């Protein structure tokens, strides 16, 4: 590629695989291989020679259109196309030529949402509905709008082996997973969400490839490197231009061709890069250069504000908030929970700082080091908080949710939910959380034979510090029944305590959207603290803006408390806005308000003179 070529030409030439040409009657097949001396594209049993080009490229144009099935032959060996846009028969089968212009978008004027407007709902397509398809999930979108969420966070859909899985072992990153539906079905899902005012984000994995079906090394070993290693295998070599373009081109495809509003980047701490420009910085730069409101979020446990302030990402999934809530309610101390003490005072520190660790020593066995930096330069929307997500549920031995834990009451669960949804930080819900779903979310995959056994054993080793993996009857990840057990039971959502929890979530999200104080998205308006009740500590969070004062109280003691008797450093506002266990439409007066263990209340009043 010459330096005189325009950037747009470089992007065009870097698109490997099958590219439908204008008019739709011809397709350019292009591949790059440092291993092959001769390459062909095979269609319908007939092999067509690809002309060699400088730089180890091979190319041909054939009179075939969308829907054509093909594979490549490297020195006579038939191999799948790792750049395939669709693989209808799985990652080991033929690829299909896709016409991205064929889908007619119904909402082309959608402009996206600011991160400050987002309330995320994380869903797994295969278990979100009984059918486990994009089309079935699309039918449920109005119910999410009614709930009050504003953004879908879709777990990975890049093609992975088998018929079921979480999606984090993807190997053909440009091809949507066929059992969920066709590419146009995914487009229709995104389009329908936009029509309802929902932004749609996609979880992408750019730190490793799955153990089965990764054919990149068959084309060239230089995609990967021994300079870096991850917990899941050999490191990606982002210094190799083709691997770099594989990742940046993939991000551009999801954002442009499928019109996703943003991406959640999995395990960015494992995206090691010694290039002059780190791959994360390039991803942020290219994403924001697309225009619109495209957003990039990092899953990163390191508590590094420079991921936003310097690298250019928009937000970070913050582990510390989840872990402090979890330890507060369960008193667990195994594994990484050993780095957290829980309780009202610790929770208030997380809220005031944004995260807990800002340079303190992280004294967890095998990971002893100083962790984090102060987050004073980050505003509230850049912190994505949750009390559940796919990892924190699914990486437990049984896939049990927070409210399934034997010592956690529904009052405590709803109190934690009240805290999450009233803070100005960006909240994330995990599917079914809003009605305290009875269904678990265990780990499941579909790896055959010895590989399946190896994956199961590797998972047990990875989480050996959680005693449940050795003492409990852990569901077999390879069993179809494990996958089936994770499918949400939508029929229960209106029943009993499920319905009561759902009503609270709807009410909280309405307050978050409409209350003139709670809808502010700045950390400068809030502070948090703990008050000693004589029988333990309660958490308080106080907002003060020009529109008024709000106070949240969460009883984390084991005895009832009366808000008016607490020795708080401020006067309580007079109006009860919400009581997590009370009548949502007619809350008690402040003088009559009593909080049993686990219960929370939101109080409202004017700005103090």
Neighbours of 560 (CB within 10 A): 13
> Distance between CA 75 and CA 514 in Å, rounded?
64
- CA gap 37, 436 in Å, rounded: 58
CA–CA distance, 81 with 175 (Å, rounded to integer): 10
DSSP per-residue codes, 46-111:
EEEEPEEETTTEEEEEES--TT-EEEEEETTEEE--TT-S--TT-TTS-EE---TTSS--S-TT--
Q: How far apart are CA 418 and CA 100, in angstroms?
A: 43
Write phi, then psi, for 107 (nearest 5 degrees).
Answer: -130, 60
HSE-CB at 566 with a 13 A cutoff on CA atoms is: 31
Q: Is 299 a catalytic residue?
A: yes
**Contacts for 550 with CB less than 8 Å, ≥ 6 apart:** 422, 515, 517, 518, 542, 543, 573, 577, 602, 603, 604, 605
Measured between alpha carbons, how far is 239 from 496 in angstroms, rounded to an integer? 56
Task: State how far the Cα of 220 lies from the Cα of 322, in Å rounded to an integer.
Answer: 41
What are the residues facing 430 on neighbouring strands? Answer: 122
Spatial neighbors of 92 by CB under 8 A, at least 6 apart, are 80, 161, 213
**CA distance between the termini of the chain:** 69
Query: 78-83 long-range CB contacts below 8 Å, 24 or more apart?
Result: 78/42, 79/215, 79/218, 79/219, 80/172, 80/213, 80/215, 81/17, 81/18, 81/31, 82/17, 82/171, 82/172, 82/214, 82/215, 82/216, 82/219, 83/15, 83/16, 83/17, 83/18, 83/174, 83/246
Structure tokens at 435: 């009605």
Q: Which of 266, 314, 319, 346 is catalytic?
A: 266
- Closest to 578 measured CA to CA, from 543, 554, 561: 554
Selected catalytic residue, list 299, 349, 537, 581: 299
DSSP-derived 3-state class of residue 526: strand
Place of tokens 């029509």: 195
Residue 266 is a catalytic residue: yes
SS (H, E, C) 398-435: CCCCHHHCCCCCHHHHHHHHHHHHHCCCEEEEECCHHH
Q: How many helices (H) and strands (E) does the chain have?
A: 17, 28
Query: Which of the residues are catalytic?
Result: 266, 299
């Amino acid at each position: 590629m010459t330096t005189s070529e325009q950037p747009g030409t470089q992007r065009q030439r870097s698109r490997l695989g099958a590219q439908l040409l204008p008019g739709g009657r011809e397709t350019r097949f292009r591949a790059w291989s440092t291993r092959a001396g001769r390459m062909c594209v095979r269609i319908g049993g007939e092999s067509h020679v690809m002309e060699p080009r400088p730089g180890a490229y091979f190319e041909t144009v054939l009179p075939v259109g969308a829907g054509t099935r093909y594979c490549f032959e490297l020195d006579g060996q038939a191999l799948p196309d790792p750049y395939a846009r669709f693989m209808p028969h799985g990652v080991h089968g033929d690829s299909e030529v896709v016409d991205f212009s064929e889908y007619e978008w119904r909402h082309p004027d959608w402009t996206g949402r600011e991160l400050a407007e987002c309330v995320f709902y994380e869903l797994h397509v295969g278990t979100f509905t009984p059918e486990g398809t994009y089309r079935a999930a699309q039918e449920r979108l109005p119910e999410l709008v009614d709930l009050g969420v504003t953004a879908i966070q879709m777990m990975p859909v890049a093609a992975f082996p088998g018929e079921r899985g979480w999606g984090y072992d993807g190997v053909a990153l440009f091809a949507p997973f066929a059992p969920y539906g066709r590419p146009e079905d995914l487009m229709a899902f995104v389009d329908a969400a936009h029509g309802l005012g929902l932004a749609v984000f996609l979880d992408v994995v750019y730190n490793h490839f799955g153990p089965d079906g990764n054919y990149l090394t068959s084309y060239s070993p230089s995609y990967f490197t021994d300079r870096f290693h991850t917990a899941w295998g050999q490191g990606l070599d982002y210094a190799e231009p083709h691997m770099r373009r594989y990742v940046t081109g993939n991000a551009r495809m999801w954002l442009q061709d499928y019109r996703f509003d943003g991406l959640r980047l999995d395990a960015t701490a494992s995206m090691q890069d010694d290039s002059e420009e780190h791959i994360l910085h390039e991803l942020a730069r290219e994403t924001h250069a697309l225009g619109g409101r495209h957003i990039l979020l990092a899953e990163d446990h390191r508590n590094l504000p420079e991921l936003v302030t310097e690298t250019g990402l928009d937000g970070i999934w913050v582990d510390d908030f989840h872990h402090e809530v979890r330890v507060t309610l369960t008193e667990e101390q195994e594994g990484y929970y050993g780095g957290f003490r829980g309780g009202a005072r610790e929770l208030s520190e997380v809220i005031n700082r944004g995260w807990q660790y800002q340079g303190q020593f992280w004294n967890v066995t095998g990971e002893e080091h100083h962790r984090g930096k102060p987050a004073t330069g980050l505003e509230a929307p850049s912190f994505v908080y949750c009390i559940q997500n796919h990892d924190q549920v699914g990486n437990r031995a049984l896939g049990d949710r927070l409210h399934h834990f034997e010592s956690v009451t529904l009052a405590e669960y709803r109190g934690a939910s009240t805290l999450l949804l009233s803070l100005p930080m960006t909240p994330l819900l995990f599917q079914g959380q809003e009605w305290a779903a009875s269904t678990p979310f265990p780990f499941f995959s579909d790896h055959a034979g010895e590989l399946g056994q190896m994956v199961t054993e590797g998972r047990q080793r990875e989480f050996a510090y959680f005693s449940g993996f050795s003492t409990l009857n852990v569901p077999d990840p390879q069993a179809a029944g494990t996958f089936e057990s994770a499918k949400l039971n939508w029929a229960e959502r209106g029943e009993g305590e499920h319905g009561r929890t759902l009503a609270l979530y709807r009410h909280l999200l309405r307050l978050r959207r409409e209350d003139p104080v709670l809808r502010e998205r700045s950390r400068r308006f809030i502070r948090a603290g703990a008050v000693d009740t004589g029988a333990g500590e309660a958490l308080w969070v106080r907002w003060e803006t020009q529109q008024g004062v709000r106070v949240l109280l969460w009883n984390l003691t084991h005895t009832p408390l009366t808000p008016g008797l607490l020795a708080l450093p401020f006067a309580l506002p007079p109006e009860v806005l919400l009581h997590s266990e009370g009548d949502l439409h007619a809350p008690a007066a402040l003088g009559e308000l009593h909080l049993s263990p686990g219960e929370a209340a939101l109080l409202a009043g004017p700005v103090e003179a």
